[in-house]
Amino acid sequence: MITAKSKVIERKKLAKLLARLRNKGKKIVFTNGCFDLLHAGHVRYLNKARKYGDLLVVAINTDASVRRLKGNNRPLVPQRERAEVLGGLAAVDYVTFFNEETPEAIIHELKPQVLAKGADYKIKDIVGNTFMKSNNGQVVRIPLSKGQSTTNIIKDIVRKYG
């Protein structure tokens, strides 16, 4: 039985699994992010991204990586719990982690056919764009839900309860 936890796979094992699935003709969509405090905007984004292929891989920043990006008060939810929550979504097929400053290395390692990012990024600024172009891949920009962000949720909580 597939469970939320069983979708969380170490990236080297995932790279081997994805190679087998690609050889069977499966189209792999990749996205990444912190996904701290999963909200409706995240769910909508992931559902839209999943439509570009046969399966969706989500690489999440490790706790240390989130702290480097967002500050010492983040993440609010530890990486294993964030991964399990993402794995509980029907749109998400696999979840893995990356600790680097950018997802460039993991994109090279997993070799997706589609790279999905939020429409707040310009194509030229999306990490992995050059790799995708050189490997006949596709980069797609997914429209975001207006006003939906973890930062906005945190600010709202502090304003109401702080």
Residue 57: half-sphere exposure toward Cβ, Cα within 13 Å: 29
- 9 pLDDT tier (thresholds 50, 70, 90): very high
Cβ atoms of residues 27 and 115 within 8 Å: no
The whole-chain average pLDDT of the chain stands at 95
pTM of the model: 0.94
Cβ atoms of residues 28 and 112 within 8 Å: yes
* Tokens (6 digits) for 150: 């973890």
Residues 135-159, mean pLDDT to the nearest whole number: 89
Cβ atoms of residues 144 and 118 within 8 Å: yes
pLDDT at 18: 98
For the chain, domain boundaries: 5-161
Task: Give the C-alpha separation, 75 to 53, whole Å.
Answer: 29
Task: Give the C-alpha separation, 143 to 44, whole Å.
Answer: 9
At position 16, the amino acid (one-letter code) is K
Q: What is the pLDDT of residues 87-130, one digit of tens each?
A: 999 999 999 999 999 999 999 999 999 999 999 999 999 999 99
Q: What is the pLDDT of residues 55-68, one digit of tens each?
A: 999 999 999 999 99
> Is the predicted pLDDT of residue 141 greater than 90, yes or no?
yes
Task: Give the C-alpha separation, 86 to 77, whole Å.
Answer: 12
Looking at residue 8, what DSSP letter applies? B
What is the CATH code of the structural domain delimited by 5-161? Answer: 3.40.50.620
Task: Give the C-alpha separation, 55 to 90, whole Å.
Answer: 10
